């Protein structure tokens, strides 16, 4: 039996992490994997992309084999406390919001740790004698916050005494550093700052986080134009055609600048990366993201090959 997979999606803010995480989840569900898409303080971004009612801190169904959850530290701590103490009344008594807030302020990594704890919990959750999910896709925060979240278990482990919480941090570390189970997927666009952060993440994955880098995603990557077709158009003296040619030339310049930025990525990262087009929809919805999912599918299937 293969063990459930965890795909952690990160990158610079605004590069399309949530869009890519949703597309990855749709691709996994589409190829038969029971998938959980987990976002963090997502404010219903995933729900609006998928065209479903707002998603809260409890798992809900978003399609065939696709579940989604929007995690937040307070709800995750509450849920954990409920598991330990079993009764809502006790949890309320010892863990009211004021206490949780103070707790979170005292140990900054705790919120991040508890959310990774929730991910870990769902990865090892069993239902009807088999894992409840085959894959969990985590729409992680952007670069800096993602790194501090992924380092939280190691930080906390050194700071707390032996006990159940330390055992959980050990299990989380084992999960995220297991190359068979957890992949870090970096999303970038062909632009300077996103590529810089992608390079940073690649370096951190190997040096600091000890995590396996999965295929990266180059979002909004422009495809090349046919030089021959451009030349043919350029031969025209029709002013309307010439205007189109000028626009296409600008696009080609932008594309080449983007490709130059991408060459700053380590070669192995660039070679394995999946390029996704910019969708023309004003606000990409489920249908648009499904098209991106189809483009991610070959990379998922390549991973299976020995
Ligand atoms: N491939 C794409 N084509 C068109 N629009 C996109 C694409 N990827 C992302 N977007 C849009 O860009 C914005 C930022 O994307 P989002 O996934 O929320 O990024 P992040 O999670 O990294 O902040 C959103 O409005 C989203 O709809
Ligand atoms: Mg996002």
Domain positions in the chain are 5-223+267-295
CA of 15 to the centre of ligand 1 (A): 6
**Atom 1 (ligand 1) nearest CA:** 278
The helix (H) or strand (E) run that includes residue 112 is helix 109-124
Find the mean pLDDT for residues 282-293: 92
CB count within 10 Å of CB 301 equals 11
Contact 28, 300 (CB under 8 A): yes
pLDDT at 193 over 90: yes
Query: Tokens 């249908």 correspond to what residue?
Result: 287
Looking at domain 5-223+267-295, what is its CATH homologous superfamily? P-loop containing nucleotide triphosphate hydrolases (3.40.50.300)
Q: Does 277 have pLDDT greater than 80?
A: yes
Q: Whose CA is nearest to atom 25 of ligand 1?
A: 283
Nearest C-alpha to atom 10 of ligand 1 is from which residue?
A: 16
Mean of per-residue pLDDT scores for the chain = 90
Q: Which of 8, 15, 17, 19 for mutating ligand 1's site (highest number of atoms within 8 Å of CB)?
A: 19
Q: Which atom of ligand 1 is nearest to the CA of 20?
A: 17
User: 80-120 pLDDT, tens per residue?
Assistant: 777 766 666 655 655 566 666 666 666 667 788 888 989 99
Indicate if the pLDDT at residue 121 is higher than 60. Answer: yes
Closest ligand 1 atom, residue 19 Cα? 17
What's the CA gap between 116 and 187, in Å, rounded?
Answer: 20
pLDDT at 218 (0 to 100)? 98
- Per 3-state DSSP, the chain is made up of helix, strand and coil in percentages (nearest 5) of 55, 15, 30
Quote the pLDDT of residue 149.
93
- Which runs of E-coded beta strand occur in the chain? 5-11, 35-40, 60-63, 66-71, 126-127, 130-131, 135-139, 182-188, 212-213, 217-218, 274-275
49 C-alpha to center of ligand 1: Å? 10
Is the beta carbon of 16 within 6 A of some atom in ligand 1?
A: yes
- For ligand 1, atom 8: residue with the closest CA: 16
Q: Tell whether ligand 1 has an atom less than 6 A from the beta carbon of residue 278.
A: yes
pTM metric for this prediction = 0.92
In terms of phi and psi (left: phi > 0; alpha: psi -120 to 50; beta: otherwise), the region of 66 is beta
Query: How much distance in Å is there from the Cα of 198 to the middle of ligand 1?
Result: 17
Q: What is the pLDDT of residues 22-81, one digit of tens each?
A: 999 999 999 999 999 999 988 889 999 999 999 988 999 999 999 999 998 888 777 777
Average pLDDT over residues 265-283: 94
Residue 180, pLDDT score: 95
| Contact of 176 with 125, CB cutoff 8 Å | no
Ligand 1: residue of 9, 14, 16, 51 to mutate (most ligand atoms within 8 A of CB) is 16
- Report whether residue 42 contacts ligand 1, using a CB cutoff of 6 Å: no
For residue 22, the ligand 1 atom closest to its alpha carbon is 17
């Amino acid at each position: 039996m293969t063990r459930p997979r965890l795909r952690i999606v990160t990158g610079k803010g605004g590069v399309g992490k949530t869009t890519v995480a949703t597309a990855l989840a749709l691709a996994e569900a589409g190829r038969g994997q029971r998938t959980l898409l987990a976002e963090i303080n997502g404010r219903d971004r995933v729900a609006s992309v998928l065209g479903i009612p707002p998603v809260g801190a409890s798992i809900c169904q978003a399609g065939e084999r696709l579940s989604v959850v929007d995690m937040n530290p307070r709800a995750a701590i509450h849920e954990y406390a409920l598991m330990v103490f079993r009764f809502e009344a006790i949890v309320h008594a010892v863990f009211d919001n004021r206490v949780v807030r103070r707790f979170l302020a005292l140990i900054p990594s705790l919120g991040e740790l508890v959310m990774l704890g929730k991910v870990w919990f769902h990865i090892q959750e069993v239902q009807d004698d088999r894992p409840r999910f085959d894959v969990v896709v985590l729409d992680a925060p952007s670069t800096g916050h993602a790194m501090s979240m992924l380092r939280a278990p190691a930080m906390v482990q050194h700071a707390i005494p032996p006990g159940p919480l330390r055992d959980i941090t050990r299990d989380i570390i084992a999960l995220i550093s297991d190359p068979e189970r957890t992949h870090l997927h970096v999303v970038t666009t062909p632009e300077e700052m996103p590529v810089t952060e992608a390079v940073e993440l690649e370096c951190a994955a190997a040096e600091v986080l000890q995590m396996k880098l999965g295929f990266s995603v180059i979002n909004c990557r422009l495809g090349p134009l046919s030089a021959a077709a451009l030349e043919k158009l350029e031969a025209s003296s029709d002013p309307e055609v010439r205007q189109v040619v000028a626009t296409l030339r600008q696009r080609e310049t932008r594309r080449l600048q983007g490709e130059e930025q991408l060459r700053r990525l380590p070669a192995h990262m660039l070679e394995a990366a999946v390029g996704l087009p910019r969708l023309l929809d004003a606000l990409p919805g489920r249908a648009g993201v499904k098209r991106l999912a189809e483009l991610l599918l070959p990379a998922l299937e390549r991973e299976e090959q020995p």
